[in-house]
Amino acid sequence: MLLLLQATQAADSVQVAADNLMKEAIANADGLDKLSLITQQLVDFGIRAGERILVAVLVFVVGRFLISLINKFIRRLMDKRKVDVSIKTFVKSLVNILLTILLIISVVGALGVETTSFAALLASAGVAVGMALSGNLQNFAGGLVILLFKPYKVGDWIESQGVSGTVKEIQIFHTILSTADNKVIYVPNGAMSSGVVTNYNAQVTRRVEWVVGIEYGEDYEKVQEIVYDILVADKRILNEPAPFVALHALDASSVNVVARVWVNSGDYWDVYFDINKAIYETFNEKGINFPFPQLTVHQGN
């Protein structure tokens, strides 16, 4: 692309000299000769414009091809070095944007616009755009903070800014989440780096808790033993820390029993739902009654 631009600039200097000679000839000509020279100048202008357009198209096509090659090279290099997926998505997005900007400047230069003037225009416009897009600059800085300190990575289930989901990509401006019902959410990196983020996959294990209500009058020791047996029977529940069962509270219409166990983070929801089902079925088999909201009314004589 640089060779094409240099050749174009050399041709421009030659063409400027030719245009000056043509202007002098037109000034000294009369009648039909002058009309013929003007016509010739218009034809030459059309040819030059066509050449510039063809060169610009060629620069664009070659540039896109080179950008594709560079992106593939960077992707393979990061794969070979086993770079973290979060960094991969960020770097690919950043490199693609920078190369695209360079390609636009090259195409504009091939069209005959002075790239120095164009760069100065971009610099002056960049100040105004930077002020208008200060939030995006904050998001860019937030993306760097996320990659540096790694509060989460691609594949983690997180909760932040009132939404939760699996991290699919960390781009230069946004973190992309995929929710449990397959929605795609774009969360600004600035908010993610400065706000509260709950990472459910940061630890290997998690604690699961159930609070089960039983009727007043039920044998608590029997209930405690039944719940403990249910928990111990599930092989996904860890032995250390040991399962915990206790009387949680004496509520308005029920005696609440709490059960707490530790499981591997990946087993959390499966264990939670399966134990719910097991407690419900076992209590019905053992004749342990679940409470219903009750109101006792005393009527005077």
- How far apart are the C-alpha atoms of 49 and 113, rounded to whole Å? 12
Span 278-287, pLDDT tens digits: 999 999 999 9
Instruction: Give tens-digit pLDDT for 216-231.
Output: 999 999 999 999 999 9
Give the pLDDT score at 178. 95
Residue 117 has pLDDT above 80, yes or no: no
- Considering only CA atoms, which of 162, 163, 168, 172 is closest in space to residue 142? 172
CA distances from 95 to 29, 170, 225 (A): 56, 14, 61
3-class SS of residue 263: strand
* 191: pLDDT strictly greater than 70: yes
Give the percent of the chain with pLDDT over 90. Answer: 39
- Across 163-181, b (16+ Cβ under 10 Å) vs e yields eebbbbbbbbbbbbbeeee
Q: For residue 271, what pLDDT is reported? A: 96
Whole-number Å distance between alpha carbons of 88 and 79? 9
Q: In what order do the strands lie in the sheet with 163-170?
A: 184-188, 174-178, 163-170, 157-160, 197-199
* Of the candidate ranges 91-100, 188-197, 201-210, the one whose mean pLDDT is the lowest: 91-100
Which residue shows structure tokens 């939030």? 135
**Residue 17: is its pLDDT beyond 60?**
no
Reference 260, options 222, 208, 211, 200; nearest CA is: 208
Q: How many helices (H) and strands (E) does the chain have?
A: 8, 8
Query: What CA–CA distance (Å, rounded) separates 254 from 220?
Result: 12
**pTM above threshold 0.85:** no
Contact status, residue 70 vs residue 103, Cβ threshold 8 Å: no
